Structure 1
């Protein structure tokens, strides 16, 4: 399947260059997530999507993202302290997905809601519910009979899903209502300046202040949908990307050590050892290692679009209207005509010199075209901060059992992705 799909790079180019009106999201996937995420940007129909995308774009401007770097530092340091404790107790074999998912959820809750549930240190009902909802959606996709709503909501899982949706919506609604009461009447730019002095401007703030070209704000329901969407789409994908890059670096200690030296050199005169926004562009080799891991193990291995009209491919064949196209990102990233020895982990593929002649559609971990991932700058910034600090404090070694890729909605590993961690005391001084 991989080689067949990967060989049609031109087909992909035709598909992803279409406007969003021609390639809306596949309704089946939407239907399972809709009760949870509503009309958020991930699921919204083509006619509403472009309007919503324009309204949300400012929320991901680098001036908004910059202060989040402090949150990334704080959240990863909580995880690293936990790992130090576990290692001192003799537990050095860790499931990366389990720990990193909690850390990304912790980070997102702070960036979206300015709320700290301390979920990395103690159980949080809200965070547990997000994890449960993700697992229930994943499970439903794999059971054909459960695709029918009337059957699904009669099952135990269906009832759990409904209850979990209510809990998550109640949390988000409460934050929105509280924030509305304190919303200022001043101009957004003045508000941003004042807010920036006191605290990080979170996602809810930006959504509450967003207005379209006619001056119309988002409704509370729209804000809830976008906040819940960001929470869903931002935690598993980033956790997958980070887990797999640590796995790849564990298997290639020479690249791991080179990344570590790059970080040590960058932070050698700093106390405390924290990554700042301007540092992200200086981590060139670490970025190459991260991108090569995203190529080998893309967090979203497949995406789908429904064709709203006939599409003529470069070779003359036609994809008929209403056909659902599954774009195999995993296959594209393993196309041997673009990526020689595609299963080999080689960060130098992403050296700027080696990338010059390569099609931008050969590497699409965040999708491509108009409906690409709006949060990709956020995700890359978070992954760089987390990877840099993690390598500064720990050495990663392969587990005795080689993980098997498990491509679901997210690229996972069967039975979890286990690595051995060794504290590096020098990194903690």
Structure 2
């Protein structure tokens, strides 16, 4: 039902939003670096930028969260931290006990705030829809290509023609917000880290973007440009291999699975699949700790199993938003390298797996504006 929300006709108009959101972030960087160079925590800046662009894509709502604090954004960040913390305390898996703790109460408060925000958007959208011919109204809007995710969810029907309830729509919108900002921010932060460490690859990416946009003013990356950035795409993929934003996924076995040594994982068991482990398996990836974008040269891909590289998982329950995420990452990375030189910081980041793969104490890099 939700797959149409990610059809490229729906995604194309979001390119404008990606360009605008990254321009706001870059204006902040220019200001901070006006004295020469700025030392920045990439996670902090890029998370706000991806949240900003997602709020616009999901809700058509501009919270100006990159320029001023937003209650909604603060609640989302708090919920992510609380979920991770709760994971590590087995007794707090019991809801009754958890909600007696200060963290549980903070969780409830933040949850209520996020839900109230989404509910208000849904109600407002319903209120503005004409009472007759809602479907015709939305279909007309779809033709003008200005649908956001809430519109797509309002349009969704199952095979029996049944629509999603407001609660269903809220759950999906909340999932988009959570799944779509931190993961992309992680992917972008780590690829900038790798390119800071490998200036020769950074320069090659920059030349590719400069060549693409040389006769264009303003410098904006459009939908049809995405296929014209092969080396930049290889650099993103190799970073997603080394630092997958989601380090593990869980799956419920739908049948008995016989392992090579004859042991059996019984049907109904939930397995944790290590994306990080798969991407660092030396039997599949020689010298897995070496950052080498040429692993993703088309001629090298043919020899590998399609399941060797699974940053978006795989199969029928893979990431519904992977085209959205890759498009956003290419726009942000392309424009960043066009305007800034990214340099490594003196502190080497330590990987910190939470809901997404972060860096302990932030991922710090230096940026220098290019003339």
Normalised by the shorter chain, which TM-score bucket? over 0.9
Q: Secondary structure at the match of 2:316?
A: coil
Note the alpha carbon deviations across 1:246-273, whole angstroms, 9 max, x for none: 0000000000000000000000000000
Mean Cα displacement is larger for which, 244-253 or 147-156? 147-156
1:302, 1:409 within 8 Å by CA — same for their partners in 2? no
Superposed counterparts of 1:27-426, under 5 Å: 55-88=1-34, 92-184=38-130, 185-186=132-133, 188=135, 191-194=138-141, 197=144, 200-425=146-371
Displaced runs of 4 or more, over 6 A? none
Distance 2:262 2:91 in 1: 38
Higher relative contact order (CA 8 A, sep 6+): 1
Note the alpha carbon deviations across 1:262-300, whole angstroms, 9 max, x for none: 000000000000000000010110000000000000000
Distance 2:143 2:79 in 1: 33
1:192, 1:201 within 8 Å by CA — same for their partners in 2? no
Q: Secondary structure at the match of 2:307?
A: helix
Q: Secondary structure at the match of 1:332?
A: helix
Note the alpha carbon deviations across 1:394-421, whole angstroms, 9 max, x for none: 1100000110111222111111100010
Judged with a 3 Å threshold, the aligned counterparts in structure 2 of structure 1 residues 126 and 187 are, in CA distance, closer, same or farther, namely: closer
Judged with a 3 Å threshold, the aligned counterparts in structure 2 of structure 1 residues 158 and 277 are, in CA distance, closer, same or farther, namely: same
Residue 211 of structure 1, CA deviation: 1.4
Distance 1:71 1:196 in 2: 19
Q: Secondary structure at the match of 1:117?
A: coil
Residue 303 of structure 1, CA deviation: 1.0
Distance 2:36 2:72 in 1: 30
Distance 2:207 2:37 in 1: 26
Distance 1:190 1:179 in 2: 12
Distance 1:308 1:260 in 2: 46
Aligned residues: 370
Distance 1:282 1:133 in 2: 38
Residue 151 of structure 1, CA deviation: 1.6
Distance 1:423 1:211 in 2: 48
Q: Secondary structure at the match of 2:365?
A: strand
Note the alpha carbon deviations across 1:166-187, whole angstroms, 9 max, x for none: 1111110011011112225548
Distance 1:148 1:91 in 2: 48
Judged with a 3 Å threshold, the aligned counterparts in structure 2 of structure 1 residues 188 and 61 are, in CA distance, closer, same or farther, namely: farther
Judged with a 3 Å threshold, the aligned counterparts in structure 2 of structure 1 residues 71 and 207 are, in CA distance, closer, same or farther, namely: same
2:48, 2:66 within 8 Å by CA — same for their partners in 1? yes
Q: Secondary structure at the match of 2:194?
A: helix
2:3, 2:320 within 8 Å by CA — same for their partners in 1? yes
Question: With structure 2 as the length reference, what TM-score do the two structures score?
Answer: 0.96
Distance 2:73 2:143 in 1: 27
Distance 2:127 2:188 in 1: 38
Distance 1:188 1:266 in 2: 40
Residue 88 of structure 1, CA deviation: 1.5
Residue 316 of structure 1, CA deviation: 3.1
Point out where structure 1 has 5 or more consecutive residues left out of the alignment: 1-54
